[in-house]
Structure 1
Amino acid sequence: MSKTWGVIAATLISSNAIAASESTPKLCSQYLQPISWQPLSSLPKNAIDIQADDVEMQGKDSAEFSGNVVINTNKMSLFASSALIDKKQSLLNATGPLRYQDHFSDVNANALYADLDNTEINLLGADYQLTQQLGHGGAEKLSASDSEISLINSSFTTCPTEQPFWALEADNITLSKHEGWGETHNAVLKILNTPVLYIPYFTFPIDDRRKSGMLMPKIEPSSRYGLEVVIPYYWNIAPNYDATFSPRYMSNQGLQLITEFRYLTEQHSGLLGVEFLEKDDSEPQLKERYLVHWNQQSYLSDNWRLSFDITNVSDDNYLTDLNSSYANETGTQLDRTAVLSYLGEYWISDIKLQNFEVLGDHTESYAALPQITWRNRKAYSALGIDFNLQGEFSHFSNDTLVITEATRFHVEPKASVSINNYAWSFLSEISLLHTRYEQKGDFAGTDYQSDVSRTLPKVRLHGQLNFERDTQFFALGGTQTLEPQVQYLYTPERDQKSIGLFDTTKMQDDFYGLFREQRFSGVDRIAQANQITLGATTRLFDSKNQERFNFSAGQIIYLEDDVKPSAQSFDNRTNYNALFAAQTMVHWHRRWYFSAGIQYDADAKELIESHTTLDYKGDNNKLVQLNHRYANDVSGYEIDQVGLFSSLPINDNWQMVASYHRDLTTGRSVEVFAGVRYESCCWAIQLTGKRQIETDLNRTIHQDDAQFDSSIGISFVLKGLGGKSNYDIEQVLQQGLFNYRRPYFLNN
């Protein structure tokens, strides 16, 4: 069962319990009490209002009422055939058929006796209905007080129908109004009136507060794990601390323990997860297999922040073999980062410690220990010119590469003039980039040097025009815009072969990337530039100012052959001399959304990358998404894949989901997922099946050698016994190698 975070007065809020409001509203709203009981507004405090057809006094302190007796106090109402009140002893006896109501319950019973001073009420032969949440049943004796309801020889169910799908029958059931939980002794769980399980002691929620206890188990057979059974236990340590222990049995691997500890204080919030498998029967050559994940965010003061995210695994194939919610099974590295941030009045600075655990046969990354960056929070202005300064100091280390250690100092002052108007904007910038390196290692036979300094200027001019007009295009009766833009970028040539690559990689070549002032992340490579970028965007807005269509296209024009990417690239496969990029979005109806993008090398007449997505999203979790993506070179392979996500509700109770992805290059499916779910106001069951390519980071697998994993899973929830039924269809469709991504709507 998933848990979510919330912060209210430094208290953890978790979804380990279920209340009536958490049940599917469309399914259960008809069964909820529309109006809870309220006392008479004109009734004085501690007074008793009695109405009856006949009254017979029995001395000064007692009276017997008969015929349509109605008794009201500030805490309850009673409708009975007859009633006897002893004022001296504060006792009330009533015979039925009678009806009793208070803030928490609505009860039909045969008889009642109560102590009015202590507000203790006992009802015999009771049929009760909780009014603050779903829950009803019968009891030989029902005792109610301000704090709890006690049921003797009783039953309880959250199923609203007269013939419930499930019910608990017990010698004793106690419902705590203050704690929000119920507990049973000597209970029998019945499904369709058939006993299925004897439970000596059991607790369950009656509202949305948390309590320690068993969560719903997971049962899923698969070709990889065999029979997989997960039985989680939730420990509610304190309002701001909790933990979950999840023994996971896999018939092919063995017994794994998955634990998670969460904490929340005024200054810190975090999560510590530990997974441990002492012996993997499917990998006998391996010793203990484990994963440790620690994530924390800290607000040390108004100016200082601290965060860290650390994940460590025992072996490269841990994630692909065992999976984990803390990392992606298809990832090739684990990030370990700690950042101390200072947010001052004039300066912002980050002190970062970072290294990576590289999984599989990949080049080890450099560790940055530390990396200190700073920048001014607000530009200094003089004579209409804005002056900014940013810089960085970093120390890198990696014993497995030629450059084993390196220290980098970078400083970048910038002067800029910007003009912003409704109809146009213009930005001119000039920067001076100075970087100094001290590098250590055995540089024999390489171009690397121990001490390197590099200084070069950078000039960027960017202008944009904004046109708009009224239009009837698409019969929208709205506005069309045209936003042409042009950029000139100049950076002189510098020989950078003597500098290593520590945290630098080529960035994405999309439409927005055409107008970046650099082609690489980091500063180890600053590309020579003498180029003009031309581009334009047009948009259509309807009469309600909602964007219905846009189209953007642009291309870089290199003014010299020496500045073309292929002439200065450190990776010729990912550079194109005449890159054309375009993208579009069509949102012609609130339920339909189309998006597409393309990157094309106009010089070589070669398609580089493309993507297309068509979405339909209706009511009641109805959605269909068709997508296609193409890339001409991903680790030496061509990627040409089509995909389908769908959710098809049959009615209010039945829902079907499916996803399918096929590789057109190899002519085979790469992932198939299907599921069906039945959900009522009382219970829910979900059956899923999937087949997907396995990942093995211990060896190189070619496309023709791929192996598949198939599995079938089933989950079953009895609502009101600790199971959560909040069904998120988008979350279900993210359980795989290919995740469903909801379209982005600016006006949502």
Structure 2
Amino acid sequence: MRKVADIAGIAGLLALLTAAAPLATARPAAAQAKAQAKVEAPKSDPTKPGKPGDKLLVEADELIYDNDKNTVTARGNAELHYGTRTLQADRVRYDRASSRVFAEGNVRLTDQDGAVVTGDKMELTDDFKNGFIDSLRIQQTVEKKGETVRTRFSAPRGERIEGEQTSFDYGTYTACEPCKDNPQKPPLWQVRAAKIIHNNETHTVYFEESTLEIAGIPVAYLPYFEAPDPTVKRKSGFLTPRFISATALGSGASVPYFFNLAPDYDLTLSPAFLSRQGVLGQAEFRQRLDSGSYNLRLSGIFQTTPSAFLPGPLGAGDRDFRGAIESKGRFYINDRWRTGWDVVGVTDKWFLDNYRIRNQTITTDYFREAVSTAYLIGQGDRSWFEARGYYFKGLSSFDWQKEQPIVAPVIDYDKRINGPQPLGGEVRFEANITSLTREATDFQGLPRSSSYLFSPSFNGISYPLYETCTTFNQASCLVRGLAGTNTRASAQVSWRRSFIDDFGQVFTPFTYLRTDAFFVNPSLSGYQNALVPTIANINEGFAGRVMPAVGLDYRYPFVSNFGPLGVHTLEPIAQVIARPSETRIGRLPNEDAQSLVFDDTSLFEWDKFSGYDRVEGGVRTNLGAQYSVVTPSGWYANAMFGESIQLAGVNSFRRGDIANVGLESGLENRRSDFVSRFQVSPNQNISFISRARFDQADFKVNRFEAGVTARFAPFLPLTLSAFYSYAEAQPLLGFSHRREGITTTATYNITPNWFVTGSALVDLTHYLDTRDIYTDAFSSYLANPIGAAPIYQNPGRFYLSGMSLGGGYQDECTTVSLNYIVSPIATAIGTRERNQTVLLRIELKTLGEADLRQNVGVASTADGIASVR
């Protein structure tokens, strides 16, 4: 058991001992007991841990009081608690004359912030704030971004100053765990310095005469540098530089500096010094408010060598100044409403790509664009409101900005309520208002023949026989977007209710009423827009459309439980919808209903068009059945098969609009193509799904896709996915040849730390379609840029469009990855080429990260670049 003594201060304790024998030793009554004493704390700074009046609690196996030497010794598992600090050691001696504490053997000092200081010997003041430590080691643990980060300092000798600063002589710093089997082995990385000073008040670590070591080998030397400790989330200072090397830019580096202006806002300046183009200025301002946050980023350069880029219209070689402005904002008005924006503005379409300025909102696929939007969103318990505006900026050479629309506003409202009695069920109200303005009509020529015929080549590039749209003819031209201002307001109210009879049959009657109002004001100025009047029967001014419908959905699931073989369900499904024929087909614009895909997901949709500009009409029945199995072991399978049949009225998919939507969709005949789905998941780690559309007449595959995702851990540290897609030629929609390809990704963990990864995009189509490339970039070279023919090349049966291959190492303190990336380039003259990049990324946790990106084997016609040497 423990013995406790309350004595007024260490000085009082020693005064009491003066009256005792020359040497007094207090020993426990039993071997298991500890001696314990509480004393008043020494005077200290009231702003620091350990305030006046705090008591020092001493625990040990035995306390030894030496009056002659004015010392008190705690020996055997000694613990001293003072305020928020704790000192542990095999032996602790307090010297009254010097007011110093001497600790020896497995010394461990835990600070108020959780940092643990260890050493062989410590000489400290009686409040543990100042002193010297032999064989010093410090471990600091913090939670940062949801991750536990541990840092470690060590030195033969160190000094503790006012409890807020620790100085290490010939010390080391790392965030790596020591090797469990061989603690003396150097960590993966560490910084070794003649002096390291850790200031806990400013949360800064200073290094003098420092060397970065990798696996014990020196790789970099810095005479002086400083870095924030892991507890710091925001601190002014230099960030990790980024190195740049490119033919058009030269060699250089970006040196960012972060200004922590206030707790709620900051500024980052990132000048990039380029040997061939001068100084690229970049600045980003961020601010967080009570209701949200926003940022503003500016980039700009006065080019010293504009000739490194192609002249207009193929590049920005005729510009001295180039730049961009980007901003993003998110604000929460209240629990139900939020607003924001995402804006990108550039002086030219090549700037961000040429100067390698990253923007997460810009797609990096073959066709690239920047989308600017502003929005207001409200959400209720059973309602949704959204208002947006869009501005699209094409970033490829073949984009013609006059064909890009400005869309504002786009307003959507959706509200669901319980149906009135005695109807019951659910009533849903949907509304949409869309208005857009386009300066030039977006035409596209159709192939003259579905066969692969080629005209004479131009500069080694062959041209298939496609129609041009100098005179609009629906048999040879499509209108992807109409010039002028087009506004549409749509509203739909619907009702449905499900009834289940005693046999388990499910009857769901439904009805809806859809109304649309169009106001079309086409632009007729300019050569291209002058073609608009030749579009047959396009309604100008106001036009209206009404579509009522009534229908019934019938399902009869048969369920059987076969015990260990699982629960099997067979469900026939039938649906019939009666409505009048669609009106004004081809006489109204179609902007938002061009992506029609008929498959298992749209078979039982009331309206199979993807947007509001088209509305399905006529009497139609949708038939199908699905079969599913679920076993107790987690095995799951599902199969579905069905078709759609036009019973009466005009088939909306048989008559194409100005974009031919509906034709060659699989729905254009009275009896549609067959659609199917098959899905199987042996367990939660493996899933396979396939979808197909078969020709109704001869069961030929018109569309097919299949994919598998698998995670084999813990048996095999492998994760992979593979998807195959095939679509038959659709000449009436502008696709004269089939589209076929495979995309795969895989990651294999060789060890818990080492991994390899790869991905590939394989084009299995003989020809590459780069349609419409002449509308802007080649307009100065070809006499007829309107609806120009796509360019095709024949690279062979298998063409590796894109791929990445890499690997790396990752642990608690280090991430190193090396990747080789091949990506397609949409070049100015439409040739099929690929960009090859080597990317090296190194992150030393708590110190910073660095990326090194180098293009290799760049195509000679890289987008906007004059030449590659």
TM-score, length-normalised on structure 1?
A: 0.79
Higher gyration radius (CA): 2
Match of 1:283 among 309, 320, 324: 309
Distance 2:624 2:273 in 1: 57
SS in 2 for 1:120: coil
Distance 1:169 1:329 in 2: 41
Larger relative contact order, structure 1 or 2 (CA cutoff 8 Å, min sep 6): 1
Distance 2:575 2:700 in 1: 25
Distance 1:421 1:252 in 2: 79
Match of 1:519 among 599, 604, 608: 608
Q: Report deviation, 1:513.
A: 0.9
1:382 paired with 2:417, answer no
Counting only pairs closer than 5 Å after superposition, residues 578-727 of structure 1 correspond to structure 2 as 578-603=672-697, 605-619=699-713, 622-633=718-729, 636=735, 637-665=737-765, 666=796, 667-696=798-827, 698-699=828-829, 701=830, 705-723=831-849
Partner residue of 2:435?
395
- AA of the residue aligned to 1:121: N
Q: CA distance change for structure 1 residues 345 and 101 in 2, over 3 Å: closer, same or farther?
A: closer
Distance 2:165 2:100 in 1: 20
Q: Report deviation, 1:327.
A: 0.9
SS in 1 for 2:151: coil
* Cα deviation digits, residues 261-309 of structure 1 (max 9, x gap): 4443331234444444543664153124444333322221345322323
Q: Report deviation, 1:674.
A: 1.0
1:183 paired with 2:206, answer yes
Match of 2:116 among 99, 105, 113: 105
The 8 Å contact of residues 580 and 649 in structure 2, kept in 1 or not, is answered as: no
The 8 Å contact of residues 236 and 242 in structure 1, kept in 2 or not, is answered as: yes
Q: How many residues align?
A: 672
Distance 1:421 1:123 in 2: 86
- AA of the residue aligned to 2:361: Y
Q: CA distance change for structure 1 residues 83 and 640 in 2, over 3 Å: closer, same or farther?
A: same
1:552 paired with 2:640, answer yes
Q: Report deviation, 1:676.
A: 1.9
1:540 paired with 2:629, answer yes
- AA of the residue aligned to 1:143: R
Distance 2:550 2:273 in 1: 61
Distance 1:629 1:249 in 2: 45
* Cα deviation digits, residues 189-247 of structure 1 (max 9, x gap): 34425362114231143347343444455568788988786655555444444555555
- AA of the residue aligned to 1:341: I
Q: Report deviation, 1:77.
A: 2.0
Structure 2: runs of 5 or more not aligned: 1-33, 40-53, 142-149, 442-481, 525-531, 766-795, 852-869
SS in 1 for 2:375: strand
1:495 paired with 2:589, answer no
The 8 Å contact of residues 363 and 369 in structure 2, kept in 1 or not, is answered as: no
- AA of the residue aligned to 1:419: F
- AA of the residue aligned to 2:586: K
Q: CA distance change for structure 1 residues 83 and 302 in 2, over 3 Å: closer, same or farther?
A: closer
1:173 paired with 2:262, answer no
Distance 2:292 2:615 in 1: 39
Distance 1:711 1:356 in 2: 28
Distance 1:540 1:549 in 2: 5
Counting only pairs closer than 5 Å after superposition, residues 71-86 of structure 1 correspond to structure 2 as 71-74=79-82, 75-79=85-89, 83-86=93-96
Q: CA distance change for structure 1 residues 99 and 413 in 2, over 3 Å: closer, same or farther?
A: closer
The 8 Å contact of residues 616 and 625 in structure 1, kept in 2 or not, is answered as: yes
Distance 1:190 1:289 in 2: 41
Q: CA distance change for structure 1 residues 220 and 368 in 2, over 3 Å: closer, same or farther?
A: closer
Match of 1:335 among 349, 368, 371: 371
Partner residue of 1:730?
none
Distance 1:317 1:141 in 2: 55
* Cα deviation digits, residues 60-109 of structure 1 (max 9, x gap): xx32538768352232224366624328x7x2242646623224223214
Q: Report deviation, 1:677.
A: 0.9
Partner residue of 2:327?
294
* Cα deviation digits, residues 120-176 of structure 1 (max 9, x gap): 131243321315323131053220655443434533223424323433334543335
Match of 1:312 among 345, 353, 358: 345
- AA of the residue aligned to 1:461: L
Structure 1: runs of 5 or more not aligned: 1-38, 726-748
- AA of the residue aligned to 1:326: T
Distance 1:614 1:555 in 2: 25
Partner residue of 2:490?
410
* Cα deviation digits, residues 700-724 of structure 1 (max 9, x gap): x2xxx31121121222233342349
Q: CA distance change for structure 1 residues 390 and 633 in 2, over 3 Å: closer, same or farther?
A: same
Q: CA distance change for structure 1 residues 676 and 174 in 2, over 3 Å: closer, same or farther?
A: same
Partner residue of 1:32?
none
- Give the stretch that moved more between structures: 373-382 or 509-518: 373-382
Distance 1:498 1:66 in 2: 97
1:462 paired with 2:553, answer yes
SS in 2 for 1:531: strand
Distance 1:645 1:211 in 2: 39
- AA of the residue aligned to 1:86: R
Q: CA distance change for structure 1 residues 413 and 50 in 2, over 3 Å: closer, same or farther?
A: closer
Distance 1:454 1:102 in 2: 77
The 8 Å contact of residues 36 and 59 in structure 2, kept in 1 or not, is answered as: no
Q: Report deviation, 1:424.
A: 4.5
After superposition, the CA RMSD in angstroms is 3.8
SS in 2 for 1:383: coil
Distance 2:547 2:74 in 1: 101
Q: CA distance change for structure 1 residues 64 and 412 in 2, over 3 Å: closer, same or farther?
A: closer
Distance 1:445 1:40 in 2: 104
Partner residue of 1:126?
135
Q: CA distance change for structure 1 residues 366 and 708 in 2, over 3 Å: closer, same or farther?
A: closer
* Cα deviation digits, residues 462-505 of structure 1 (max 9, x gap): 22233321136xxx532122232222123322124332224332
Q: CA distance change for structure 1 residues 431 and 717 in 2, over 3 Å: closer, same or farther?
A: closer
Counting only pairs closer than 5 Å after superposition, residues 39-118 of structure 1 correspond to structure 2 as 46-49=55-58, 51=60, 54-58=64-68, 62-65=70-73, 70-74=78-82, 75-79=85-89, 83-86=93-96, 91-94=99-102, 96=104, 99-103=107-111, 104-116=115-127
Distance 2:156 2:59 in 1: 27
The 8 Å contact of residues 81 and 87 in structure 2, kept in 1 or not, is answered as: yes
The 8 Å contact of residues 293 and 326 in structure 1, kept in 2 or not, is answered as: no
Counting only pairs closer than 5 Å after superposition, residues 201-350 of structure 1 correspond to structure 2 as 201-207=225-231, 209-216=233-240, 233-242=257-266, 244-246=268-270, 256=280, 259-279=283-303, 282-283=308-309, 285=311, 286=316, 287=319, 288-318=321-351, 321=354, 322=356, 324-330=359-365, 331-343=367-379, 348-350=384-386
Distance 1:530 1:711 in 2: 55
- Give the stretch that moved more between structures: 511-520 or 677-686: 677-686
- AA of the residue aligned to 1:194: P
The 8 Å contact of residues 596 and 661 in structure 2, kept in 1 or not, is answered as: no
Distance 1:723 1:315 in 2: 31
- Give the stretch that moved more between structures: 505-514 or 347-356: 347-356
Distance 2:270 2:350 in 1: 21
1:419 paired with 2:490, answer no
